[in-house]
Amino acid sequence: MTLRFGTVSNNILDAIGDTPLLHLDGIYAKIEFLNPSGSIKTHIAKYMIERAEREGLLKPGDTIVEATSGNTGNALSMVAAVKGYRMLVVMPEGLSSERVAISRAFGAEVLFCGNFHVNEALARAKQLGEQPGYFCPSQFESEWNVEENREILGPEILAQLPAGCVPDALVLGVGTGGTLIGVGQAFRAVNPQVRLFAMEPSESCTILCGEIASHTIEGISDGFVPGIFQRHASLVNEVLSVSSVDAVTEMKRLARRHGLFCGPSSGAHMLAAQRIRAKFPELKTVVTVFCDEGEKYLHEYFMLPANMARPASASSWFQMPWLYVIASPQYAMAKPGSSCCAWRNALAASGYSNRCNNKVPRRNAVCAAGECVEVGNEMLPRPAMVCMGAVSCAGVPMDRPAHSIPKISTTR
Ligand code: PMP
């Protein structure tokens, strides 16, 4: 019998890697969410920490500090727990609450810095990392991140492809860019013609046009073009985008159709890979990665029964009988017609997570009637809707006056 874990180990870090490569709907998908701590990031976490130990940058009793949108924080927290280091995760608010909880479960301290994008957390982690007794791996900058993907993950995928089959394309979202660049380098070594496609959310096309906005493909497009991507941009053939709504819809389909419970970036990766296959039929072997597990998004997408799933478009919210209403005098004080940012700040002050896109009215409806303001975009993780009277929005009448809608939930 050939077993993946044929011998007994005393260390969970031995279970990193050797995940399946599946061929689904014409795409090769590396199932990295099966790694310990639930994401691809376990690879670089272990690699960077052991490298720092070897180079004398990290010593017993030290604290590891890192900026993250969550998965690297989870992975480093797990590695720190196993190796006995203190861990300080610096991350923005407004990301899935499970990622915060998972880091804490591994014994890490979580320091919130900024909202949704990682820029402020990055600056803070860098600053803390310069203090004596602290080590910051700097995942967005470090060539060790690229190296791990080139030396370990890339060759692992190559070894799993059918005999005689070389990759024609690699399609991946850009968080740090480490996976795309490192795995891409490994692929180029066996097929110099392999095409590398970077993907970003269509709401936040930072690489393509400098746009920084909110989206729901957590783990990519963190608010800046990372140093790794800047240094290696010439390796990338094309940048494409996938919308948040499409990514989440595809994420749900992957669970129902293929039994793969993964996060939104996996949905976006699958869609992007399929679009590349359709656009370039000559690219036969298209590879992507499913990066993190769906369990990290339970509260955002999976706590409602399917027949109460949130509608895909913002305006159809107003037709739902189960509207979430935040009934608080504080919100009622906000001026009708005020910008979505005012609403966002009011909500944030009360501890509600929201992802208001600053660009009014691109994705945020401010009702002409001035009686109802919706905060955030269609894919709000936690419904954040403020109703102050019977209104119609975008021509869609509510099925009953807002003031009679029961206060079903004020999710936090
Ligand atoms: N998807 C998810 C869920 C992630 O957490 C990350 C890493 N932040 C990525 C995709 C992108 O990986 P990379 O950082 O290597 O670009």
394-399 mean pLDDT: 28
* Percent residues over pLDDT 90 in the chain: 67
Domain-wise residue ranges, the chain: 12-38+143-297, 42-135, 319-404
- Residue closest via CA to ligand 1's atom 4 equals 219
Residue nearest (by alpha carbon) to ligand 1 atom 11:
175
Q: Which secondary structure element, helix H or strand E, spans residue 88, and what is its range?
A: strand 86-93
User: For a pocket test of ligand 1, which of 183, 261, 262, 265 has the largest count of ligand atoms closer than 8 A to its C-beta?
Assistant: 265
* Ligand 1 mean position, distance from CA 236 (Å): 17
Among 33-47, 295-309, 350-364, which stretch is predicted with the lowest mean pLDDT? 350-364
Question: CB of 180 within 8 A of CB of 172?
Answer: yes
Residue 349 has pLDDT above 60, yes or no: no
Do the domains spanning 12-38+143-297 and 42-135 agree at the CATH topology level?
A: yes
Percentage, residues of the chain above pLDDT 70? 74
Residue nearest atom 6 in ligand 1 by C-alpha distance: 219
Q: How far is the CA of 212 from the centre of ligand 1 (A)?
A: 17
Residue nearest to atom 8 of ligand 1 (CA): 219
Catalytic residue, candidates 265, 266, 296, 353: 265
Residue 395 has what pLDDT?
Answer: 25
Pair 289, 269: CB distance under 8 Å = yes
The average pLDDT across 186-197 equals 98
Q: Report pLDDT digits (tens) over 288-346.
A: 999 999 999 998 888 765 544 444 333 333 333 222 333 222 222 233 333 444 444 44
pTM: 0.79
Ligand 1: which of 34, 42, 118, 220 to mutate, judged by most atoms within 8 Å of the beta carbon?
220
When the pLDDT of each residue in the chain is averaged and rounded to a whole number, the result is 80
CA–CA separation, 343 and 336 (whole Å): 10
Supply the pLDDT for residue 391.
25
Residue whose CA is at the smallest distance from ligand 1 atom 3: 219
Q: Is pLDDT at 356 greater than 80 in this prediction?
A: no
Q: From the candidates 41, 46, 252, 296, give the one annotated as an active-site residue.
A: 41
Residue 412 vs residue 5, higher pLDDT: 5
- What number does CATH give the domain 42-135? 3.40.50.1100
Mean pLDDT of 160-186: 98
The amino acid at residue 333 is: M
Question: Which of 250, 248, 262 minimizes the C-alpha distance to 215?
Answer: 248
Q: How many helices (H) and strands (E) does the chain have?
A: 13, 14
What is the Cα–Cα distance from 230 to 225, expressed in whole angstroms? 7
Residue ranges of E strands in 254-362: 286-290
Q: What is the mean pLDDT of residues 145-165?
A: 98
| Cα 174 to ligand 1 centroid, rounded to whole Å | 6
Residue 228 Cα: closest atom of ligand 1: 16
Tell me how far CA of residue 247 lies from CA of 187, 217, 242, 251, in angstroms.
26, 7, 7, 6
Of the candidates 94, 91, 145, 99, the residue with the CA atom closest to the CA atom of residue 123: 91
The answer to whether domain 12-38+143-297 has CATH 3.40.50.1100 is yes
Residue 302 is predicted with a pLDDT of 85
Pairing relationship of beta strands 21-24 and 27-31 according to DSSP bridges: antiparallel
Distance 181 CA to ligand 1 centre (A): 12
Of all protein residues, whose CA lies closest to atom 5 belonging to ligand 1?
219
Index of the ligand 1 atom closest to the CA of residue 296:
3
- Cα(268) to centroid of ligand 1, in Å? 12
Among the listed ranges 1-10, 108-117, 151-160, 360-369, which one has the minimum average pLDDT value? 360-369
- Residue 241 known to be catalytic: no
CA separation (Å) from 382 to 42, 146, 353, 376?
Answer: 28, 35, 7, 10
In the predicted model, what is the mean pLDDT of residues 150-179?
Answer: 98
Better-scored residue on pLDDT, 398 or 179? 179
DSSP assignment of 195-213 equals: EEEEEEETT--HHHH----
Which pLDDT belongs to residue 242?
95
Pick the atom of ligand 1 nearest to 263's CA. Answer: 3
CA distance 286 to 279: 12
Please report how the helices 41-54 and 71-83 are oriented relative to each other, as an axis angle in degrees rounded to 10: 50
Has 335 been annotated as catalytic? Answer: no
Higher pLDDT, 409 or 303: 303
More confident residue, 212 or 59: 59
Provide residues with CB under 6 Å of ligand 1: 39, 41, 69, 71, 173-180, 219-220, 263, 265, 291-292
How high is the pLDDT of residue 299?
84
- Which is more confidently placed, 322 or 276? 276
Q: Which residue, judged by its Cα, is nearest atom 12 of ligand 1?
A: 175
* Nearest alpha carbon to residue 74 among 45, 32, 53: 45
Q: Which of 39, 95, 181 to mutate to test the pocket of ligand 1 (most atoms within 8 A of CB)?
A: 39
* Residue 222 alpha carbon, nearest atom of ligand 1: 8
Closest ligand 1 atom, residue 139 Cα: 14
